[in-house]
Amino acid sequence: MLLFVGLGNPGSDYAKNRHNAGFMAVDWLARQHGFSDWKAKSGALIADGRLATSKVILAKPQSFMNKSGLPTVEIARFYKIQPEDIFVFYDEIDLAAGKIRIKQGGGHGGHNGIRDLDRHLGKDYWRVRIGVGRPERSGDVHRWVLSDFAKDEQNGWLERLLSAMSDEADRLASHDTAGFQSRVAYLAPAPQADKENTDNAEEENGI
């Protein structure tokens, strides 16, 4: 059994925020793959279904981003799911908009949801990082992640990326993380960005 966790903030006011990219990813996956209806459990909304031959639990913690760890670890304990079988989807400002990167373990990079997960769960789970880019001015990060994706993003690269991630989710279920990342990048290429700024950000964060 696997656990796919999307990070975000609950409520309609936050639904289209960049910070809710993780919620969007698991919502899209649930719809496309016919998962059960969402139901409340342990401070989260969960849905269950299958990907390839694996049973998968989807979870969206409802305790706000910086308190995501406890609901996640309680669900993992209830279903006896080990960290290496947990995939967490979340927004990453140090990746250009439309890029994804997957890794197991690592630092939190200042992301409050990941910081809290590390505290409760340890660091051995998989991180599916969804690039949302940085604002032009570094002091605007908080406002940036809590602002909505622009309409052209929602109907353009974001929709293509979420669809591609859902299409290739079977690869994650079989732990083919390299294949998943490669196929998603092929199916949903990231829009052109300022290469120099992107390269600098990726270099600083060891990507």
pLDDT tens digits, residue range 154-177? Answer: 999 999 999 999 999 999 999 999
Q: Are 114 and 108 in contact (CB under 8 A)?
A: yes
What topology does CATH give the domain 2-204? Rossmann fold (3.40.50)
- Residue 44's alpha-carbon distances to 26, 40, 178, in angstroms, are 13, 6, 29
pLDDT, position 39:
98
pLDDT, position 83:
96
Domain ranges across the chain? 2-204
pLDDT, position 192:
79
pLDDT, position 158:
97
Tell me the pTM: 0.90
Catalytic residues: 19
What parts of the chain have a pLDDT lower than 70?
A: 138-139, 193-207
pLDDT, position 30:
98
Q: Are 26 and 6 in contact (CB under 8 A)?
A: yes
